[in-house]
Amino acid sequence: MKTTPVTYLNENDGSGILAFGLGPTFILDEQSDLDSIQSFINENQGKYIFTTLSYDLKLKIQGLESKNEDALKYPLATLWIPETVVKIENEKIKNYLFGKPSSDNEAFVSEFFSNSNMGRSSLDVEFKARLTKEDYLKQVTNLKNEIQLGNIYEVNFCQEFYAENVELENSVATYFKLNELTQAPFSCYSSLGNFDIFSGSPERYIKREGTKIISQPIKGTSKRGATDEEDQLLKEQLLADPKERAENVMIVDLVRNDLSKVATKNSVKVDELFGIYSFETVHQMISTISCEVDESISFTEILKATFPMGSMTGAPKHSAMKLIEKHENFKRGIYSGAIGYIAPNGDFDFNVVIRTLIYNREAKYLSCPVGGAITIQSSPEAEYEECNIKVQSILKGMNA
Provide the CA 72 distance to its chain's centre, in angstroms. Answer: 16
Query: Residue 3: is its pLDDT beyond 80?
Result: no
Report which residue type is found at 220.
G
Q: Determine the average pLDDT of the residues in 15-41.
A: 95
**CA-only gyration radius of the chain, Å:** 20
Provide the CA 138 distance to its chain's centre, in angstroms. Answer: 27
Residues found in the chain: 400
Taking only the tens place, the pLDDT of each residue in 370-379 is: 998 899 989 9
The CATH number of the domain holding residue 184 is 3.60.120.10
Query: Residue 368: is its pLDDT beyond 90?
Result: yes
214 belongs to a structural domain: yes
Phi first, then psi: give them for residue 134, nearest 5 degrees: -60, -45
Angle (CA) 298-338-369 rounded to 5° is 155
121 belongs to a structural domain: no
For the chain, the average pLDDT equals 94
3-state secondary structure of 366: strand
From CA 203, how far away is CA 181, in angstroms rounded?
16
107 belongs to a structural domain: yes
Angle (CA) 94-19-347 rounded to 5° is 85
153 belongs to a structural domain: yes
From CA 254, how far away is CA 270, in angstroms rounded?
12
pLDDT of residue 121: 67
87 belongs to a structural domain: yes
**Helices 317-327 and 133-148, packing angle to 10 deg:** 150
Is residue 352 within 8 A of residue 203, CB to CB? The reply is: yes
Nearest alpha-carbon partner for 369 in 319, 334, 326: 334
Taking only the tens place, the pLDDT of each residue in 44-60 is: 999 999 999 999 999 89
Q: Determine the average pLDDT of the residues in 336-359.
A: 97
Task: Please name every residue paired with 350 in a beta bridge, in sequence order, or none if there are none.
Answer: 206, 340
Write the DSSP assignment of 160-177 as a string of letters: EEEESS---S-HHHHHHH
Taking only the tens place, the pLDDT of each residue in 262-310 is: 999 999 999 999 999 998 888 999 999 999 999 999 999 999 999 999 9
Query: Residue 2: is its pLDDT beyond 80?
Result: no
Is residue 368 within 8 A of residue 395, CB to CB? The reply is: yes
122 belongs to a structural domain: no
Cis peptide bond upstream of 308, omega within 30:
yes
Is residue 374 within 8 A of residue 139, CB to CB? The reply is: no
Active site residue 219: yes
Q: Which of 58, 144, 219, 390 is catalytic?
A: 219
Active site residue 362: no
Query: In sequence order, which residues have a C-beta less than 8 Å from that of residue 384 and are 6 or more positions away?
Result: 133, 136, 137, 140
| Number of domains present in the structure of the chain | 1
Query: Residue 104: is its pLDDT beyond 60?
Result: yes
Report which residue type is found at 367.
S
Is residue 304 within 8 A of residue 277, CB to CB? The reply is: no
Nearest alpha-carbon partner for 335 in 144, 157, 127, 125: 157
Q: Greatest CA span in the chain, whole angstroms?
A: 64
Q: Which of 146, 154, 160, 203 is catalytic?
A: 203
77 belongs to a structural domain: yes
**For the chain, percent of residues with pLDDT exceeding 90:** 85
Nearest alpha-carbon partner for 293 in 186, 205, 206: 206
From CA 136, how far away is CA 16, in angstroms rounded?
38
Taking only the tens place, the pLDDT of each residue in 121-156 is: 678 899 999 999 999 999 999 999 999 999 999 999
Torsion of CA 384, 196, 206, 90, to 10 degrees: -110
What Cα–Cα distance (Å) separates residue 171 from each residue in 82, 86, 167, 189, 353? 19, 20, 10, 9, 18
Counts of helices then strands in the chain (DSSP H, E): 10, 21
318 belongs to a structural domain: yes
**Residue environment code for 79-92, b if the CB has 16+ CB neighbours within 10 A, otherwise e:** bbbbebbbebeeee
pLDDT grade for 62, boundaries at 50, 70 and 90:
confident
pLDDT grade for 390, boundaries at 50, 70 and 90:
confident
Bridge-based pairing state of the strands 314-315 and 154-163 = antiparallel
Domain region containing 305? 6-116+127-399
Query: In sequence order, which residues have a C-beta less than 8 Å from that of residue 138 and are 6 or more positions away?
Result: none
pLDDT of residue 119: 56
